[in-house]
A and B are shown apart, each in its own frame.
Chain A
Amino acid sequence: MPDNTPLLRVPPPLTARRRAEPGKLAPPRLLKSAGFRFAVLFAAMFASAAIALVAVLWWATAGALDRQTDVAIRADAVALSERWREAGQNAVAESIEERLAVDVGNEAIYLLMDASGSLRLAGNIDRWPPEAAERAWFRTVVRHDGFEVEARLHRVDLPGLRLLVGRDETEREMLRRLLTEGVIWASGAVILFALLGAWLLRSVLQARLRPAFRTAAAIGGGDLGSRVALSGREDEFDRLAQTMNAMLDHIGTLMVGVRGVSDAIAHDLRTPIARARAKLEDAVGAARDEAALRAAIEEGIADLDNISRIFRALLRIAEAEAGARRAAFAPFDLVPVLRDAAELYEASAEAREQRLEVDLPQQLAMVGDRDLVLQAVANLLDNAIKFTPPGGSVRLAARQTASGLVIAVSDDGPGLSPADRAQAGERFFRADKARATPGSGLGLSLVVAVAHLHGGDLLLDDARAGEAMPGLRAELRFPLP
């Protein structure tokens, strides 16, 4: 097995240079490598299977031969015992001579002696083996046919006689040796294949993990666009890669959002900051008296307040967009919330000689962030009242539909052109017609963010299409929880 070969050949890890501990991204030590452990597991399984196979084979061949021998010996012993019972000592001796005469394989071994063991009555070995005194079945070396041979022997107890029945095992012994040799060779092959298989398994595992590892390393190094390459096999590794990619995409979207907010902050806070700064600087140099200086400073403070208001709005939008507030979602009745908002703005509408018409059902159950929904509706009402001319009316309505809840705010104002509508949710967007009215261009951005936070959407349309003042109809749609 390759020892300590680098597990993964990643491009020189960027982070390794930055971190104090360069070992972090280096291939894991062999014993810690999961690939190695899987490989060892594989080899162990493979070897176990091979051992089981050899054991069965051994039992079926060498074992079977042994058992066959024993069966034959036992049959002989039984037959000779019968013979003795029927016809006595001489018949047994005769029977043994007969059996020896017909034994072409020259395997059978008999020895019949008298009780003292000094007189051989029949048989083909000359010495009573000492092992026969202790055990009925045994294996020993005897002198048979002029050769020292391995024999399997059985002592048969007959009154007044000593009888040994056995088989020469030379042939079988050779066969067993052959078998053992075969098993040893096969075991070598098994070990070789196990190691080869383990190495292959490890290499395949490494190869399949390499794209994920490489991507993670690239992202760790700052390349956020990197994605895990799919093998197209749609297996577990591909599923892991897909999950990782989905996660990276989401992180990417959030990063773009964050970047968008910081860009917008940088871009759009600079203008009011520059304005405030210019005014203050001008006042320092050019103010003729204290009153003028004081007025300039007050204006500067007002500008700063406005900047911090914009900043707060941006943070609120970011908070909603990040989805962190979803943890604070709770069920509430939308109707009192809408009534409160209408009540708050009713006075403003009245002051501008507008009517605020409210059309709400008895109850609308919703799950979400009450404060944010309230602010979204407040922003819509604020816009509607701001853009409706005196004498016009603003309508707040809400209803339950098959797909969810709809809150609609419509006004009698100039409305938005289709092109402006598409842009209306962007931060700091202000339609040309709206430049003269006060506002930060963040109101609808928050509404859109709140809608998205609740899985809903903001739809903008003409309130009365085709008229000179088509008005704007803003619909907040929340899906059913």
Chain B
Amino acid sequence: MRILVVEDDAEVARFVKKGLQEAGHKVEHTGSGRDGLFLAASEPFDLLVLDRMLPGGVDGVRLVETLRSQGNRTPVLFLSALSAVDERVKGLKAGGDDYLTKPFAFAELLARVEVLSRRPSAEVPATKLRVADLELDLLSRNVARAGKRIEVQPREFRLLEHLMRHAGQVVTRTMLLEKVWDYHFDPQTNVIDVHVSRLRQKIDRGFDKPLIHTVRNAGYMMRDEP
């Protein structure tokens, strides 16, 4: 996948670039908003990772607004030191697809990059999600594993749906809190872990092959293979 990183801090840029390259992506980097806009407008990229504040007169928000006004729909992930709620809203309103506050763990960035680059296509709305022998019916809201029905609460259903939609990808705790609960703050304790472990009890208990895996220092992943 081809990713453009526009970040003026050399150290952060190097760290992001190296990490993304190690994950198997082709990465272009520039430090100025003007060059970033030029590159993003003239070459095809699968994803843009943009710093919110950039030197050179064109900041991240302006860059995205310009791209979007030209009909460029490349997914955009904002990196920002501005953590206020309003800033986040501003970034997303301008056309950003996700917003990550500095400082961040690379695992968090990578997880979000993977999710953004493999967004489920909106054209074919699936009515059923399937991972191995686990089946989730979006219409009847039934969950079954190996044909055996599993009772889940509404929120657990959404949690499971999110994990299954992103099967094979790391989903971090913050991402779950944002996407499943629509919360944008740090809970003081790890409430998400408790929810996931409860869901895991229902899904994986009694089966020899677990589907919900914990990824150390990152989050969770639903996958078929052990």
Q: Which residues of A pack against B, CB within 8 Å?
A: 298, 301, 304-305, 308-309, 312-313, 315-316, 319, 325, 328, 340, 343-345, 347-348, 350-351, 371, 374-375, 378-379, 382, 385-386, 438-440, 443
Contact = CB atoms under 8 A, between A and B. Distances in A.
Contacts of B217: 298
Contacts of B184: 371
A280 B69 CA distance: 48
Interface in B68-121: 83-86, 101, 103, 105
Interface stretch (B32-40, B143-151, B188-196): B188-196
Contacts of A348: 189, 191, 194
A313 B83 CA distance: 10
Nearest to A319: B84
B186 A309 contact: yes
Contacts of B213: none
A440 B83 CA distance: 19
Contacts, number: 58
The 9 A-B pairs of least Cβ separation, nearest first, read A347-B194, A351-B194, A382-B188, A375-B185, A348-B194, A347-B195, A308-B103, A348-B191, A347-B198
Nearest to B156: A347
A313 B86 CA distance: 16
Interface string B15-59: 000000000000000000000000000000000000000000000
A313 B105 CA distance: 18
Contacts of B186: 309, 312-313
Contacts of A386: 189
A439 B190 CA distance: 12
Interface band, chain B = 20 to 34
B187 A344 contact: yes
Contacts of A344: 181, 183, 187, 191, 195
Q: Is the interface of A mostly helix, strand, loop or mixed?
A: helix
Nearest to A305: B105
Contacts of B183: 344, 374, 378
Contacts of A316: 185
A101 to B, nearest CB: 109
Contacts of A440: 188
A316 B103 CA distance: 16
Contacts of A328: 85-86
B103 A304 contact: yes
23 contacts: A304-B103, A308-B103, A312-B83, A315-B83, A316-B185, A344-B187, A344-B191, A345-B191, A347-B191, A347-B194, A347-B195, A350-B194, A351-B194, A371-B185, A374-B183, A375-B185, A378-B187, A382-B187, A382-B189, A382-B191, A438-B189, A440-B188, A443-B188
Contacts of B103: 304-305, 308
Most A Cβ at <10 Å: residue of B85, B181, B185, B186: B185
B141 interface: no
A178 B189 CA distance: 102
